[in-house]
Amino acid sequence: MPPATGFAAPPIRVLASAMWWAGFAGCYNPSTLPEGAPCQRTDQCPESQQCVLGSCSRSAQSPVDARSSPPDAMADARVDAMPVPCNADGLTCGGTPTVFLCGTQCWVKCTDTVSRTTADTRCTGWTGALGEIDDASEQTCVASHIMTVQIWLGATQGAGAMAPNDKWTWNGDATRPLDSNHYNNWAQGKPDDADGVESGQEQCAAMLPGGGWDDDPCNQLQGFFCRRSTFR
């Protein structure tokens, strides 16, 4: 008997596709799927295959599924980790600057003598900061370049200090104090504010030729260290 008017026998490929998806909804077993089977995620394919453009494939192409990182996110990650060159370009530094790496930090030593305020301005203009030392390893690295004169570091003493060793931070950042709970390398008897009594006379810090840190008047003229990360 001919089929009823308005109904047509489905083409074979449509029927086959329907059978595939019926298998997905019912007795789905990805380990038995041949290459080229339809998929939405890689976990719908055998272990040796990936879901690539809607089909299970042994190709080495990147899988297209929910676990893949969006292209924009990957591009953003690469931008976030862009390396910054370690050089003195853009830094006002009399004479020949000394450029060196300590871990992932780029350091520059300038030997022209300036006040602490001027040194700070030059370092920030270079997209860095007056030298901050995080640990003993960085201290050893930086101290190897100190030579015979003292050099400005980024440590300063905040307002309202009640003692020579009170309220010291790296470049005014209260989250980075120089106290007994955080790394510091004060020279013996330092800081002392000249006479051991807090008088507001020596509110800025420098590294001495031996590597220890000393408190000095901020308007004293001396060389300086700048530091910035090699990644941004």
Per-residue pLDDT of the chain (232 residues; tens, 9 = 90+): 444 444 444 444 443 444 444 444 444 555 556 777 888 788 888 877 888 877 788 764 544 444 444 555 555 544 556 888 999 999 999 889 999 999 999 999 999 999 999 999 999 999 999 999 999 999 999 999 999 999 999 999 999 999 999 999 999 999 999 998 999 999 999 999 999 999 999 999 999 999 999 999 999 999 999 999 999 8
Which segments of the chain belong to CATH 3.10.100.10?
Answer: 98-229
Total-model pTM: 0.66
Other Cβ atoms closer than 10 A to 125: 12
Angle, CA of 212, 130 and 213, to the nearest 5°: 10
64 contact partners, CB below 8 Å, separation of at least 6: 51, 52, 53, 54
Q: Which CATH number fits domain 98-229: 3.90.45.10, 3.40.50.300, 3.10.100.10, 2.60.40.10?
A: 3.10.100.10
Residues 143, 157 contacting (CB under 8 angstroms): no
